[in-house]
Structure 1
Amino acid sequence: MVEEKKQHPKRRPPSARLTRRSLAFVAAGAVLAAVATFVVAGFQGADDNGGGGAGSVVTTGAVAGEAFGTATGGDCLTWTALDASDLAKVDCEQSHLFEVVADIDLSVFPGAEWGPGTRFPSVSRFTQLRDEQCAPAAMDYLGGRFDPHGKFSVGLINPGEAGWAAGERTLRCGLQFSSTTGNLLPIEGRVADQDQSRAWDPGVCIGINNGVPADPVDCAKPHAFEVAAVVDLSERFPDALPSIEDQDAFLEETCTARVDEFLGDPEALRNKTLTLFWDNLNFDSWLAGSRKVNCSIGTQVEGGGFAAITGSAKGDILIDGQPPVPPPDDNGRLLPTPLPGAAPLPGG
């Protein structure tokens, strides 16, 4: 593909950039949907219509345990039970799910909302508290170096309905690693000591759910796209954040070369009808120290979603259950792969 680019320098940027922009839009939608239902790291409040019904959210009385009751900034917590009732403190170098940045005592807040006998807050109220109290606490905890678009997100653990009924009013704010669908992924080491770039390792396949990227899966299972490379933008831009245009120019060339190397054949991307796309970094991410982005490969479908790919792109794949058909060679000239549903190319 590098050689092809040299022969036809005007090829590829429009479709590749379209796919990259679409990925950002689709992924953001999935994250927003996850936030609406997963805002407190497994300790959600009752729904707005009251608890106890078939659709109510399961909560936990983990406040009865010492780990929640004594957790403070710098402690790391983990659990395995769905309701997190086995919550425990662990060394932060060990695998964990939550790094506490602050404990917030609601009993000292003004107003009657938090007094004895008050109703357990709803998910939306806990979401407000997370945004109002936990987001700034996380920024302070990290000395201002928090990437709001990176791999870590701000979470909140509440005491659960049982703890609330017993009079516990302390919340724990913390940092967590959430997947696209909102599931928590393990963390090893303190966040302050890590690169916060939201970049997956090469060879990771991101699952698919109704055309939308989901959680990492084995590449033998249906997935939206496969990560082919990680690029450190500081290699080319060591001093200041480059513009999106400069990022795109650098990443078009670099990702093309890295993907060709990943696949082992410069014609593989074309022959398997896959499209290359990449991520960009913005000012907030750069300021927090994030420098890495992914080069990924997948197939976009009409409407902005993704086709389901089965198998690693390094070998044989199926796209929506069918083997890919390489585009024709028109008098020796390689044609760009059209997006599904696109009109035939002139002369095709």
Structure 2
Amino acid sequence: MAEDKKKKPVRRPPSAKLTRRALVFVAAGAVLAAIATFVVAGFQGTDTVDGNSSAASPSTGAVAGEAFGTSTSGDCLSWTELDASDLAKVDCEQTHLFEVVRDIDLSVFPGAEWGPGSRFPSVVRFTELRDEQCEPAAMDYLGGHFDPHGKFSVGLINPGEAGWAAGERTLRCGLQFSSTTGNLLPIKGQVADQDQSRAWDVGLCIGINNGVPADPVECSKPHAFEVVATVDLSENFPGGVPSVEDQDAYLEQTCTERVNEYLGDPEALRNKTLTLFWDNVNFDSWLAGSRKVNCSVGKQVDGGGFASITGSAKGDILIDGQPPVPPPPQPEGRSLPTPLPGAAPLPGG
């Protein structure tokens, strides 16, 4: 009986499937915004399972700048303006937003679509070009070791309407680090030298927008969940990709231990009415070399999505503006009841 009391079932839940479904909706909204404004700073690979959904390419005003016209494979680019009009080359060891994997010259493509005087392509057409031209280029650039569900996504930079009107027909395909909502996050170092696992830093909080995870925020601000640990699956699975069931069995124990250490009290998670959840690594990611996943804490709401949490789980928190009410103590000699079932849990994360 004492053993039953010690083992506290932890549900896996607002884990991968719930979070990823939510991210699909966020990304889809970003696409609609991009079509309306034509100003979005990049996009992730299309994937209806993991939520990496396409958005638009930035216009660069390249007709007035040298960096776009001369950048090629291996160059790193950065900018501060929304339309990337101040795009510049930087050393890849410095903070940057885009690593060029290939330049694509559309003028050598057959057809009148790219000829002199042709109309500037739409956001949708640039997205198609990204899928057709840039994704294979990124895979080649990384020697086949690109994680399509990982930290980095494939992007495209076009020459802008002014550049297009002046006859520029070259695109820059590249790698970038996109947040949940499609905003670009800084990168240091070349992608080939980095772990591509979609794992956020411990202690990071992921913001919330209408019950859906958003961009990283300070934990003092409303958020969907807080990252409490990063687990390297290769420490327990040195061979081929483990099944989801095997990953879950290992992560349930490991994440439970890590969250208890993080919160400093084995009763804290229950008393704060929070849920522990984790992600999994699939075959494609494992093949690319990704091995790390996050253990996180949040609170799922009925019908899916997340409650809004304010404050770090290490201290006092508010859930939807109210302090959590600890559940009644468990009777001696009885195990905790199995929580209600939930979905499984980038990126980001």
Alignment TM class, shorter chain as reference: 0.7 to 0.9
Q: Distance in 1 between matches of 2:281 and 2:186?
A: 24
Aligned to 2:9: 12
Amino acid at match of 2:9: R
Q: Distance in 2 between matches of 1:209 and 1:74?
A: 36
Q: Does 1:248 align with 2:248?
A: yes
Which one scores higher on RCO, CA 8 angstroms, separation ≥ 6?
2
Aligned to 1:81: 81
Would you say the 8 A contact 2:63–2:166 is kept in 1?
A: no
Q: Distance in 2 between matches of 1:234 and 1:338?
A: 29
Amino acid at match of 2:5: Q
Say if 1:145 and 1:37 are closer, same or farther in 2 by CA, change over 3 A.
farther
Aligned to 1:301: 301
1:340 Cα deviation after fit: 11
1:25 Cα deviation after fit: 2.1
Residue correspondence of structure 1 range 271-310 to structure 2 within 5 A: 271-310=271-310
Q: Distance in 2 between matches of 1:337 and 1:123?
A: 48
1:329 Cα deviation after fit: 1.9
1:32 Cα deviation after fit: 4.2
1:82 Cα deviation after fit: 1.2
Q: Distance in 2 between matches of 1:209 and 1:234?
A: 34
Aligned to 1:115: 115
Amino acid at match of 1:262: Y
Q: Distance in 1 between matches of 2:277 and 2:197?
A: 17
1:62 Cα deviation after fit: 2.6
Amino acid at match of 1:154: V
Aligned to 2:99: 99
Q: Distance in 2 between matches of 1:198 and 1:34?
A: 20
Residue correspondence of structure 1 range 25-36 to structure 2 within 5 A: 25-34=21-30
Q: Secondary structure at the match of 2:276?
A: strand
Amino acid at match of 2:26: A
Q: Does 1:196 align with 2:192?
A: no
Amino acid at match of 2:71: A
Aligned to 1:345: none
Aligned to 2:206: 206
Say if 1:43 and 1:200 are closer, same or farther in 2 by CA, change over 3 A.
closer
* CA deviations over 1:190-246 (Å, ceiling 9, x no partner): 000000000001100000000000000000000000000000000000111100000
Aligned to 1:270: 270
Aligned to 1:21: 17
Q: Does 1:151 align with 2:151?
A: yes
Q: Distance in 2 between matches of 1:289 and 1:58?
A: 30
Would you say the 8 A contact 2:317–2:323 is kept in 1?
A: yes
Amino acid at match of 1:152: F
Q: Percent of pairs identical after alignment? A: 76
Aligned to 1:170: 170
5+ residue gaps in structure 2? 44-56, 343-349
Aligned to 1:68: 68
Q: Secondary structure at the match of 1:174?
A: strand
1:16 Cα deviation after fit: 2.4
Aligned to 1:234: 234
The size of the alignment, in residue pairs, is 326
1:304 Cα deviation after fit: 1.1
Say if 1:93 and 1:169 are closer, same or farther in 2 by CA, change over 3 A.
same
Amino acid at match of 1:12: P
Aligned to 2:179: 179
Q: Distance in 1 between matches of 2:3 and 2:311?
A: 27
* CA deviations over 1:244-290 (Å, ceiling 9, x no partner): 00000000000000000010110000000000000000011001100
Q: Distance in 1 between matches of 2:61 and 2:3?
A: 60
Would you say the 8 A contact 1:137–1:173 is kept in 2?
A: yes
Would you say the 8 A contact 1:19–1:275 is kept in 2?
A: no
1:337 Cα deviation after fit: 8.0
* CA deviations over 1:99-126 (Å, ceiling 9, x no partner): 0000000000000000111111000000
Would you say the 8 A contact 1:43–1:84 is kept in 2?
A: no
Q: Distance in 2 between matches of 1:5 and 1:311?
A: 33
Q: Distance in 2 between matches of 1:29 and 1:169?
A: 32
* TM-score w.r.t. length of structure 1: 0.88
Say if 1:218 and 1:18 are closer, same or farther in 2 by CA, change over 3 A.
closer
Aligned to 1:48: none
1:19 Cα deviation after fit: 4.5
Would you say the 8 A contact 1:300–1:339 is kept in 2?
A: no
1:331 Cα deviation after fit: 2.9
Amino acid at match of 1:26: A
Aligned to 2:48: none
| Larger Rg, first or second structure (1 or 2) | 1
Would you say the 8 A contact 1:177–1:184 is kept in 2?
A: yes
Would you say the 8 A contact 2:39–2:83 is kept in 1?
A: no
Amino acid at match of 2:300: Q
